[in-house]
A and B are shown apart, each in its own frame.
Chain A
Amino acid sequence: MSTLTTTLPPAGIQITTDSATEPFWQAAKENRLVAPKCADCGTFRLPPSPFCPTCQSQNVDWVTLSGRATVYSFSIVQGLPGQPELTLAAVVVDLPDAPGARLVSNVVDADPGAVEIGTPLTVDFIEIADGWKLPVFRVAAVTVAVAVAGAGE
């Protein structure tokens, strides 16, 4: 397949926030991928929610992550009603520096055949409706992954 993966048309992607999720999206506007970590027991959780499921605390540290991720599982969506040309690599990713938390996203600008379980990714951000930004992922070149890992340590 030669068509590269993309996202839904970005101008049509809408999100809404509440008090628990707002910091995630505000950080995305600044091109930062963050995750809530319980300030009492250290458990990460996504999506952001009002309580820590381990200790029920409401105290949260918003941790800025490296942006590295790996594909935990995925689906290749070939066309949607009204958008037959679309190729999406919808991925569920593990975040190595937020263990236990996962994100659902897209791998963009990839050959669909290059997306596998375990494929290393790096985050990027695209502009969507209403001035928000959405974290998406790109296949990490091995050298880039090493550089990012090095920079993070």
Chain B
Amino acid sequence: MSASGPFDTAIVGVGATPYYRRGGSAPQTITELAGKAIIAACEDAGLSVRDIDGFAYYSGAGAGYGQSMDTATFMETLGIPEVTFSAALTSGGGGSAGSIGLARAAILAGDATVVVTVMALQQVKQRLGTVFGSVAPSPENSFLQPSGLVGPGHLMSVLARRHMHNYGTRREAFAEIALSSRENALTRPKAIMRTPLTLDDYFNARMIADPLCLFDFCLETEGAVAVITTSAQRAKDLRRTPVGVVAAAHGGVREWGRAFAWYGMPDEYFASSGHAPIARRLYDRAGITPDDIDVALIYDHFTPMVLMQLEDYGFCKKGEGGPFVESGAIRYKGGSIPVNTHGGQLSEAYIIGMTHIVEGVEQLRGTAVNQVPDAKLALVTGGPATLPVSGLILGRTA
């Protein structure tokens, strides 16, 4: 247990815009949304935007699909004088949690001192739910796109089916993840979904890609979130109690690879989240076990992928995720490992993984709306997706 151990880097500021339903953030531009989040994160930290000297993105610095986060544009519009680090993890939302590890690497290498990770999302031009149905054909996606699996949820429904087949997982387990997330969102002022969800609602919902229904899919929302990472030394003098970066990891194994854009995974990986190698490295680096985690902020684009991450991160055995969640284990009230206490992407807002980092920070500051009593260690994960996937362990410092 290293919750009070030494930290080399820390998250010192978080900031966000309001969250909007699809189309609701207009007429703000994506740069405007991102800028507002960056300014808010700096204010939270007690820093000026002029102190920023590094940017650590993920998704190849993309913002959703088809838009991008651009360092020079932020410097020009926000008045940031000089940047000494600007880089991104490759691929997509799998790197959200790992981008804090990229910021940490820059700081430890001496390449930057105040590093921003930012993501903004608008979905007017293209909704994410069916994004793959509208991209131009490529030699690679010509082996996928004709099938009509037009969006990430459609693709992952095939993994969910295999999990149900291999382990007897029931739709009731996916429902419990949706219901638990909704319960947590009810008390959240910023949450998009604030009306209770019942099991009847779930089973009466439209099937989108059977075995997944409407409530297995995350929200299609808009907004921006920024996070500021700095050295432990610098963090001491700032406004907020620092939240330590205990461990961060990204990557993955070839057996997962392009995952549901490939479908060639061997059976032990097919019905998984691809996160098992990340989990092993994170726990090794932190010197802890899953039992030491007090709150888990699990990337929840689709309910079955939460279940499979719970297995891959060792909160239950492989194949037992269904009975585990159905037992109430992930509930904020009464669960053994509270999951997505902010309502997650299923019920609060979907900003491609950033809201999970914010909730981890708030839990360890002790300021979360649904505060887990005495939380010392939080797990934050990036999206099960084409590699790299990633994870982050944050620790309370005071």
Q: How far is the CA of A103 from the CA of B148 in the complex (A)?
A: 14
The reply to whether A17 and B139 form a contact with Cβ atoms under 8 Å apart is yes
For residue B137, which residues in chain A have a CB less than 8 angstroms away from its CB? 14-16
Given A17-B139, A73-B158, also A117-B165 (CB < 8 A): yes
The reply to whether A46 and B148 form a contact with Cβ atoms under 8 Å apart is no
Q: Does A128 contact B (CB under 8 A)?
A: yes
Chain B: minimal CB distance from A53 (Å) = 7
Q: How far is the CA of A73 from the CA of B267 in the complex (A)?
A: 11
Q: Does B142 contact A (CB under 8 A)?
A: yes
Given A15-B142, A46-B264, A80-B133, also A90-B208 (CB < 8 A): no
| B264 interface neighbour in A18, A90, A101, Cβ under 8 Å | A101
For residue A92, which residues in chain B have a CB less than 8 angstroms away from its CB? 158, 263
For residue A8, which residues in chain B have a CB less than 8 angstroms away from its CB? 146, 148
The reply to whether B139 and A106 form a contact with Cβ atoms under 8 Å apart is no
Q: Does B144 contact A (CB under 8 A)?
A: yes
Which of B4-12, B149-157, B242-250, B377-385 is the contact stretch?
B149-157
Q: Does A77 contact B (CB under 8 A)?
A: yes
| A73 interface neighbour in B133, B207, B270, Cβ under 8 Å | B270
A5-29 vs B, CB cutoff 8 Å, 1 = contact: the mask equals 0011000011111101100010000
B residues 205-229 with Cβ under 8 Å of A?
A: 206-212
The reply to whether A88 and B148 form a contact with Cβ atoms under 8 Å apart is yes
For residue B263, which residues in chain A have a CB less than 8 angstroms away from its CB? 92, 102, 104
Q: How far is the CA of A52 from the CA of B398 in the complex (A)?
A: 53
The reply to whether B142 and A73 form a contact with Cβ atoms under 8 Å apart is no
Q: How far is the CA of A46 from the CA of B212 in the complex (A)?
A: 27
Question: Can you name the residue of chain A whose Cβ is closest to the Cβ of B127?
Answer: A81
Given A7-B146, A20-B139, also A77-B209 (CB < 8 A): yes
Q: How far is the CA of A92 from the CA of B137 in the complex (A)?
A: 19
For residue B254, which residues in chain A have a CB less than 8 angstroms away from its CB? 53
For residue A105, which residues in chain B have a CB less than 8 angstroms away from its CB? 146-147
Q: How far is the CA of A47 from the CA of B207 in the complex (A)?
A: 29
Q: Does A125 contact B (CB under 8 A)?
A: no
The reply to whether B208 and A18 form a contact with Cβ atoms under 8 Å apart is no
**Residue in B130, B138, B143, B209 whose Cβ sees the most chain A Cβ within 10 Å:** B143
The reply to whether B148 and A47 form a contact with Cβ atoms under 8 Å apart is no
Q: Does A41 contact B (CB under 8 A)?
A: no
The reply to whether B146 and A13 form a contact with Cβ atoms under 8 Å apart is yes
Size band of the interface chain A makes with B = 35 or more
Given A15-B146, A46-B264, A102-B264, also A77-B139 (CB < 8 A): no
For residue B146, which residues in chain A have a CB less than 8 angstroms away from its CB? 7-8, 13, 15, 105-106, 128, 134
For residue A62, which residues in chain B have a CB less than 8 angstroms away from its CB? none
The reply to whether B148 and A90 form a contact with Cβ atoms under 8 Å apart is yes
| B149 interface neighbour in A16, A77, A101, A102, Cβ under 8 Å | A77
| A76 interface neighbour in B144, B147, B150, B207, Cβ under 8 Å | B207
B111-149 vs A, CB cutoff 8 Å, 1 = contact: the mask equals 000000000000000000010010001111011101111
Q: How far is the CA of A75 from the CA of B212 in the complex (A)?
A: 9
Q: Does B162 contact A (CB under 8 A)?
A: yes
B153-177 vs A, CB cutoff 8 Å, 1 = contact: the mask equals 0100111011001000000000000
Given A90-B149, A102-B263, also A76-B143 (CB < 8 A): no
For residue B206, which residues in chain A have a CB less than 8 angstroms away from its CB? 78
Chain B: minimal CB distance from A14 (Å) = 5
Question: Can you name the residue of chain A whose Cβ is closest to the Cβ of B212?
Answer: A75
**Residue in B137, B140, B142, B161 whose Cβ sees the most chain A Cβ within 10 Å:** B142
Besides A77-B148, A86-B148, 20 new A-B residue pairs in contact (Cβ under 8 A), listed by A number: A7-B146, A7-B148, A16-B138, A47-B143, A73-B158, A73-B162, A75-B157, A75-B161, A75-B211, A77-B154, A77-B208, A77-B209, A78-B210, A80-B148, A80-B150, A88-B147, A92-B158, A92-B263, A100-B264, A102-B263
Q: Can you spell out 6 A-B residue pairs with CB atoms less than 8 angstroms apart?
A: A7-B146, A46-B143, A47-B143, A75-B210, A104-B147, A117-B165
What 9 A-B pairs are tightest by C-beta distance, nearest first? A15-B142, A76-B210, A18-B139, A73-B162, A75-B157, A47-B143, A88-B148, A90-B147, A14-B137
